[in-house]
Structure 1
Amino acid sequence: MPDSLSGRKLCRRGLCHAEHVIAILSAPSNLGLRPPGPGSTPGTSKAPEAFRQAGLMAELTEAGARDAGVVIAGRYVDDDLTRPSGVVRNQESMIEHSRRLARRITALLDAGDTPLVLGGDCSILLGIGLATSARDGIGLVHLDGHTDFRHPGNSDECASVAGEDLAAAVGLHWPTIADIDDAGPYFDPQHTVHIGHRQDDEEAAEATRVLGLVVAAEEAQATTPGQLASDVRAIADTGYWLQVDVDILDPSVMPAVDSPDPGGLTATELTALLQHLAPHAIGISITVFDPDLDPSGDHARTLTDIFTTGLDQLT
């Protein structure tokens, strides 16, 4: 294993800082995704264990992180034939999971830990938002291959929160989703940054009007990581939540996602960007990796390399 990935070097760089422990919390949800086929369920709920098998947990705990356990989601149900209008897939289970996840994240933040939440699909952003909304001034940095900005105001096809999570996080979804326990909007749109969508993203123009900063993948690749991180801090300040959906990567690097689109970042580019963004994050979440699409485990190991190096200064 290269020295840059060794636990010893991670610890030197601050991952095991005495005042801030990285708390690895598994959130194996698949509730916000459409079924991949009739009678089947999305595989994202297997991601935390796939990361464990690939060595991510071992690398981080050797460097001083701790295992903070798991928040189990409810059973996935393909309810397309029975779900009424105005209700998203697995809505009741998702709301309950969001509440339980929020309580766990709140406890970690109150203890002074830095949560590293391993999803799961990106509907877990609802639970994260519930936790952070009670704290003043927490921005959001959303790295994703899609804007995830579909909502009832721009689409008649709202059903899968994993494609609608950013819109919900800033208050643009049905109140049942965007205002759980009267806590919405979970993030101030003007202190929210999105990076990584492709140029043909249908909701990019609206996201650009609403959010503080929106940067397409191509634009991110044309900017140095240091400059991009500086632009991010100008909007989200420091102490933001960093949400990383792995389909920000090009499918040639990471095909094991539900909606791969060409034109994403390389592994090197994402690693460098994380190295600049992670030091200013109060927590981070990793979502949408699907081990069912990675039978050899090679893609899990690629992600382990990216995150072990990219998060070496998350403190």
Structure 2
Amino acid sequence: MPGTAKAPEALREAGLFARFSEVGGIDAGTVLAGRYLDNADPVHHRVRNQAALTDHARRLADRVEAILDENRVPLVIGGDCSILLGSGLALRRRGRFGLVHADGHTDFRHPGNSDACASVAGEDLAAAVGLHWPDISDIDSHGPYFRPADVAHVGCRDDDEHLGEADSILGALVTASDITSNMGAALGLITDVVTTTELDGYWLHVDVDILDPRFMPAVDSPDTGGLDPQQFVELLASLAPRASGAQVTVFDPDLDPDGRYAASLTEMLVSGLGALGRARGQHLRRG
């Protein structure tokens, strides 16, 4: 979406890139999005901006793979949640990976449960596990990008429209209230899914609307009942070290005119993702 497309440069200005460079990060450049077209056509199975979106997914996949080929750990700064198609495509080309989908919404709308499909940003998880139209969920015949059983969703609210369906299909589903009530148990459910010997690693998707809008209102679909900054950082810091890579999505600088939320998000991401991938060789569980 146009507002979130500005997030990488807003976070760069807030110091995010510089902070990661101080701990060894290397700026791998920009995968530029094409011109946005609000041209959804559900009747003919086309989502908004589909041509540019799928083109970007292929180019992002190439960039992610190039980084992985160098035994480095990608951190992709989006953009909206549709970038999961590119990251998922890259990983599927290489093998079988798990996914931790940390998001304030399940993003599980798909043609089988809704007549309103049009925006991949609200449908990315369904697409990633193969439930969307093939042009989205099966790019270059590589779908599904993640097997449903290899996916753990964390962070949706208890009243999420598609909570029940997602819970019945995915390997694990942990709500924001589950995190609040028992972080340790929630992390156990997540890691049991994505750290098995059958997987080549796992990807960490982070939509910042997992945060409560009291702390992060600069998102397109804020919902009460989210995490506070301490919980958010603890969640990321627990999952990041063994991840094969991560992405950050849905921060909208248009809703942050004085930059205060870019600054606070930078601090949270540096704290939560500072050890990204450092223990990835330990991702396999025994037994």
Which TM-score bucket, shorter chain as reference?
over 0.9
> Is 1:70 aligned with 2:30?
yes
The DSSP-based 3-state class of the residue aligned with 1:196 is strand
> Is 1:49 aligned with 2:2?
no
Percent identical residues? 58
Displacement of 1:83: 7.1
- Which aligned segments of 4 or more residues in structure 1 are displaced greater than 3 angstroms? 82-85
1:200-254 superposed Cα distances (whole Å, 9 cap, x missing partner): 1110100000000001110111112x44333212111162100000000000000
CA distance in 2 between counterparts of 1:117 and 1:86 reads 28
- Aligned partner (choices 296, 299, 307) of residue 258 of structure 2: 296
Task: Tell me the number of residue pairs that the alignment of Structure 1 and Structure 2 aligns.
Answer: 273
> Is 1:235 aligned with 2:193?
yes
Residue in structure 2 matched with residue 103 of structure 1 by the alignment? 62
Residue in structure 1 matched with residue 105 of structure 2 by the alignment? 146
1:244-291 superposed Cα distances (whole Å, 9 cap, x missing partner): 000000000000001001000001100011110001100000000000
Residue in structure 2 matched with residue 195 of structure 1 by the alignment? 154
Unpaired segments ≥5 residues, structure 1 = 1-29, 31-41
> Is 1:250 aligned with 2:209?
no
> Within 5 Å, which residues of 2 pair with 1:50-199?
50-79=10-39, 85-199=44-158
The DSSP-based 3-state class of the residue aligned with 2:218 is coil
Displacement of 1:84: 5.1
Indicate the RMSD between aligned Cα atoms, in angstroms: 1.2
Query: TM-score normalized by structure 1?
Result: 0.84
Alignment CA distance shift 1:217-1:83 (3 Å): closer
Which letter maps to 2:188? S
Which letter maps to 2:26? R
1:78-111 superposed Cα distances (whole Å, 9 cap, x missing partner): 225x775311000111111000000010110111
Check conservation: 1:83, 1:89, Cα contact below 8 A: no
Displacement of 1:312: 2.0
Query: TM-score normalized by structure 2?
Result: 0.93
Displacement of 1:300: 0.4
CA distance in 1 between counterparts of 2:96 and 2:51 reads 29
1:2-42 superposed Cα distances (whole Å, 9 cap, x missing partner): xxxxxxxxxxxxxxxxxxxxxxxxxxxx3xxxxxxxxxxx3
Unpaired segments ≥5 residues, structure 2 = 279-287
Which letter maps to 1:163? G
CA distance in 1 between counterparts of 2:164 and 2:185 reads 23
